[in-house]
């Protein structure tokens, strides 16, 4: 399977995912000694994903349009539960995409990606914030 998030292909993908851990709320009320505690079960599993793509086309305008289409596909993932495959071959499942950040574009000109020459290339980078909502087991 290719590097992707929610089925949207990427050239590079880095995922930093905290494992599920027991979440605890603590509180203190005025006039009472000590603290109240409540165990909420497994939670606190935020994840940060950096997605990048390098796309080229016959013209600069078509290359930019391809980057924008890739970004639009990532935006449609907000509010859905997806799986991903990063550059290291790890495949975390059950990630709720909470927010897809702003698209950062940069022109590369002619470059080589995966052994192929790409003309009028642009790189698009997006930060994605998500939550781990279940075990991978």
Q: What is the pTM of this model?
A: 0.79
User: Three-state DSSP class for 24?
Assistant: strand
Domain ranges of the chain: 4-19+44-132
pLDDT at 44: 67
Q: Nearest-5° angle of CA 64, CA 67, CA 70?
A: 150
Q: Nearest-5° angle of CA 85, CA 20, CA 39?
A: 160
Which residues fall within 8 angstroms of residue 134, CB to CB, at 6 or more apart? Answer: 93, 94
Residue 103, number of CB atoms within 10 A of its CB:
16
Residue 21, number of CB atoms within 10 A of its CB:
10
- Least Cα distance to 123 among 14, 3, 15, 12 occurs for 12
Digitized pLDDT (tens) for each residue of the chain, 137 residues in all: 589 999 999 999 998 887 777 888 888 877 777 888 888 877 768 889 999 998 888 888 888 899 999 999 999 999 999 999 988 888 888 899 999 999 999 988 887 777 778 788 889 999 999 988 876 54
Distance CA 17, CA 77 (A): 18
Joined together, the tokens standing for residue 70 give: 């890739």
Joined together, the tokens standing for residue 87 give: 């550059």
Q: Cβ distance 63 to 121 under 8 Å?
A: yes
């Amino acid at each position: 399977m290719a590097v992707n998030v929610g089925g949207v292909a990427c050239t590079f993908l880095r995922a930093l995912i905290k494992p599920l851990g027991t979440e605890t709320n603590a509180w203190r009320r005025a006039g009472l000694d000590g603290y109240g505690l409540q165990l909420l079960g497994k939670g606190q599993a935020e994840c940060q994903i950096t997605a990048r793509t390098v796309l080229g086309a016959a013209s600069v305008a078509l290359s930019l349009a391809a980057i924008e289409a890739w970004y639009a596909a990532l935006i449609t993932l907000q509010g859905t539960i997806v799986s991903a495959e990063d550059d290291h071959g790890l495949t975390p499942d059950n990630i709720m995409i909470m927010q897809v950040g702003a698209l950062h574009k940069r022109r590369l000109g002619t470059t080589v990606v995966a052994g192929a020459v790409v003309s009028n290339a642009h790189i698009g980078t997006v930060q994605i914030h998500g939550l781990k909502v279940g075990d991978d087991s």
